[in-house]
Amino acid sequence: MVPTHILCHYGEIGTKGKNRRQFERKLKDNMKAGLKAACPGSYVEIRTVRGRIVIELTEIGRESLDCMKEVLRNTFGLVYFAPATRMEQKKEILEEAALEFVNTLPGESFRITTRRSDPNIPLSTQKMNEEIGAAVVEKFGKTVDLTQPDVNCHIDLVEDSAFVYAHRIDGFGGLPVGMGGKVLSMISGGIDSPVATWQMMKRGAFINYLHFHSVPYTSDASIKKVHDIIRIFQKHQLRTTLFLAELAPIQEEVIEKCHEKYRIILYRRFMFRIAEALAKREGAHAVITGESLGQVASQTIENMETIEAVTSMPILRPLVGMDKQEIVNRSKEIGTYDISILPDEDCCAYFLPKQPATKATVEQLQKAEENLDVEALVEGALDSLHKKVIES
């Protein structure tokens, strides 16, 4: 049976009360933008019908289903979707379709799962399941299995139509990108910050990126990695902005004027100051990092406190309670791992101290910074930011 539509379901959004309309509109806009960019001409219309979003396919869409599936799978907010065939809402027609489905798909057991979008629809779902099920048993001798059927023939009764399908495709769930406001992601090209970014994007945040590099003291490998990671995330958010910041002038000052054991924490405090200033300038409400409690010396709870003390903006650390292995697994799932493990030269690894402080206090750091013109260094970094708009 050739699919004529794709039925899309979006769990959590449905519960959002007054915001629901806005959520649905955002999700629909994101679906349209993704489909227009990757599979142009694939749909006639996309509309919300009683808690579902229904895509009507064009001829092109019917032939480019794989492309459409890929786009929908990566549109955050969709819990699952199913290519389906629209039919008249008549029992005889649906029975015939179900017979064909169960007969053509492999397997010995089946079930019929009828649902209706509202109680005014005259057909009884219970009766449909029983009577169509009985017809299948009689005609093909297959067995009914309600828990783990080989073929699950879904019949969704929506308004005055019926949609028939056998396969659901899972989406990631989450919320539509853009619903959660603008956020600035501090992205390093390592394993953690891309995963942190993905988590927040899945929760609807609209992401712009900030990457610090130490060129010419290091190569530009990390910059290239960040570009490649952003390209992967364009599946979820088509357009973004990347800011590249020079850390080297700050590092030169810190190396010359401060005790080496505070180097990393000082670099980090500068990174956070610059990130916050940029976030404010760009209308973002928070900064994301890939920190995870205790993973390295700069990520003890004491050092997080000392580093965060220079900002007043929310710092989002979606990985703070995750183990490294969990983060690695997730990065493989989302497709960033292979890029993240490519060799680069981390800007903070440049002149690394032998014994970094693990429990530095705010007072110690303030004292160390007395030797620096903090404001001028931050201003200098902001002035030399390199901005790149990235679109599909």
> Which residues of this chain interact with ligand ATP, rule CB under 6 A?
186-188, 190-193, 210-212, 289-291, 295-296, 298-299, 347-348
- Which of Mg ion, ligand ATP, none lies near 298, with the C-beta cut-off 5 to 8 A by kind? ligand ATP
| Binding site partner of 30, from Mg ion, ligand ATP, none, Cβ cut-off 5-8 A by kind | none
Q: Which residues pair with 244 in a beta bridge?
A: 211, 386
CB of 263 to ligand ATP, least distance (A): 13
Q: Stretches 59-67, 117-125, 182-190, 301-309: which one binds Mg ion (CB under 5 A)?
A: 182-190
Shortest reach from residue 188's CB to ligand ATP, in Å: 3
**76 touches which of Mg ion, ligand ATP, none (CB within 5 to 8 A by kind)?**
none
Three-class SS of residue 150?
coil
Residue nearest to Mg ion (CB): 190
Residue 299 touches which of ligand ATP, Mg ion, none (CB < 5 to 8 A by kind)? ligand ATP
Structure tokens at 285: 């409400």
Q: What would the two tokens of residue 243 be?
A: 């800011």
The pair phi, psi for residue 85, each rounded to 5°, is -110, 130
Alpha carbons 128 and 141: distance in angstroms, whole number: 18
HSE, CB side, 13 Å, CA atoms: give it for residue 195.
Answer: 25
**Quick check: helix, strand or coil at residue 15?**
helix
Residue 46: CB minimum distance to ligand ATP, A: 36
> Alpha-carbon Rg of the chain, whole angstroms?
27
Amino acid at 303: N
The correct pick among 3, 171, 176, 190 for binding Mg ion (CB under 5 A) is 190
Q: Which amino acid is at 167?
A: H
Q: How far is the CB of 108 from Mg ion (least distance, A)?
A: 52
When CB distances to ligand ATP are compared, the closest residue is: 190
Residue 122 to residue 87: CA distance in whole angstroms: 16
Length of the chain: 392
- Smallest separation, CB 348 to Mg ion (Å): 7
Q: How many residues bind Mg ion (CB under 5 A)?
A: 2
**Contact footprint for Mg ion (CB under 5 A):** 188, 190
